[in-house]
Amino acid sequence: MTASRVLVLNSGSSSVKYQLLDMADRTRLAVGLVERIGEQTSRLVHTPLTGGGARREQTGPIADHGAALKAVAAELAADGLGLDSPELAAVGHRVVHGGTRFTRPTVIDDEVLAEVQKLVPLAPLHNPANVTGIQVARSLRPDIPQVAVFDTAFHATMPEYAARYAIDTEIADRLSIRRYGFHGTSHAYVSRATAALLGKAPGEVNVIVLHLGNGASASAVRAGVCVDTSMGLTPLEGLVMGTRSGDLDPAVIFHLARVGGLSVDEIDDLLNKRSGLLGLCGDNDMREVLRRAGEGDQAARTAFETYVHRLKKYIGAYAAVLGRVDAVAFTAGVGENAAAVREAAVSGLEELGLAVDAGLNSVRADEPRLISPEYARVAVAVVPTDEELEIATQAFELVTH
């Protein structure tokens, strides 16, 4: 028996999401999450997907990530899926920032872990939790490979002129200021799945991927290779998001400081947590924005229009970057579910060969599907993302090849 299971861990500052997959047949064995770690009201939700077991939930204090992973291990063991099993081939960790060094999935040793730690200033909210998750998983199973899969990696192929900000090169290089891009695992998965939907190899198609979740980013993928993406040094640049502003004139920051009297931390908080849809209308969930806009709420309508306008600008920009576009793929919470966003983002772009069929666009399904009419020159697709499967696939390939 060869080991074929991969545990995927996505460790946040106060949460751990996990999935156990069997890569022999690419099935999920169990999924779950622990949230509010460190509080009195921590919650673990665990769902076994084999053996007919039901969803289980426990609440009560879970002190830290170590205790969280032990609780997860106990849940898995109760389903006969214990992490001590010889069938476990690897643990795949989502790591947000890989800097310029990590452009591929990487087996973690002490040196790699130290390097990931060094990248904390570039991702202060994310990399520390990722490091903790790695340390805890390593202590639980030091004998199996722990693999880091980086959110930035897929974008490492961006040409220099797309990765550079037009600022003093010496300062930029000294402070590692450049465009890295994020959601790379999703952009990689979705661009490949879109090619498959068209019956083509990834190398045969140019795709614009629109990952629209709480965070949102667009990417231009030429023949399977990322050539541009909307997020930059941090996940703040680009599209309008749930709570993040996306693009703005950098002088807005000077103005907030000089005229508004805000500190750097206050501006950081404003632009990352209190802007985007939330800042524009008071709601960050697109479902709520759509409901209110439908009832004629002006602020919600403006929020929707601002969101869609930015999206449309990026579609146009990436059509120009790619020269030839074969497909535009919508993914993540908003992209997969909000037909109104898809319809509005593409409307008026017939000259670019883009159109959406209202009937196809309104269909709900979990499968990748086309929503463009037969005559359209460019395929418009809804392609559900699966970052966990992609992380497991990359980790498993690395340890078995």
Residues that bind ligand ADP (CB under 6 A): 213-215, 242, 285-287, 332-334, 337-338
Residues 6+ apart with CB under 8 A from 338: 212, 286, 287, 290
Considering the complex, what minimum distance in angstroms separates the CB of residue 198 from ligand ADP?
Answer: 23
* Residue with smallest beta-carbon separation from ligand ADP: 333
Which DSSP letter does residue 54 get?
P
Q: Which residue, 48 or 242, has its beta carbon nearer to ligand ADP?
A: 242
CA distance 148 to 8: 10
Residue of 151, 228, 297, 386 with catalytic role: 151
Q: Which residue, 94 or 192, has its beta carbon nearer to ligand ADP?
A: 94
Q: Which residue, 266 or 285, has its beta carbon nearer to ligand ADP?
A: 285
Q: Which residue, 92 or 353, has its beta carbon nearer to ligand ADP?
A: 92
CA distance 153 to 102: 7
Q: Is 151 a catalytic residue?
A: yes
At position 126, the amino acid (one-letter code) is: H
B/e letters for 213-230, b = 16+ CB within 10 Å, e = fewer, are bbbbbbbbbbbbebbbbb
Residues 6+ apart with CB under 8 A from 2: 89
Nearest partner of 331 among 234, 221, 236, judged by Cα: 221
Contact 53, 79 (CB under 8 A): yes
Q: Which residue, 145 or 384, has its beta carbon nearer to ligand ADP?
A: 384
Considering the complex, what minimum distance in angstroms separates the CB of residue 334 from ligand ADP?
Answer: 5
| Chain center to CA of 264 | 26
Q: Which residues partner with 229 through β-bridges?
A: 219
CB atoms < 10 A from the CB of 292, how many?
A: 19
Q: Which residues are catalytic?
A: 151
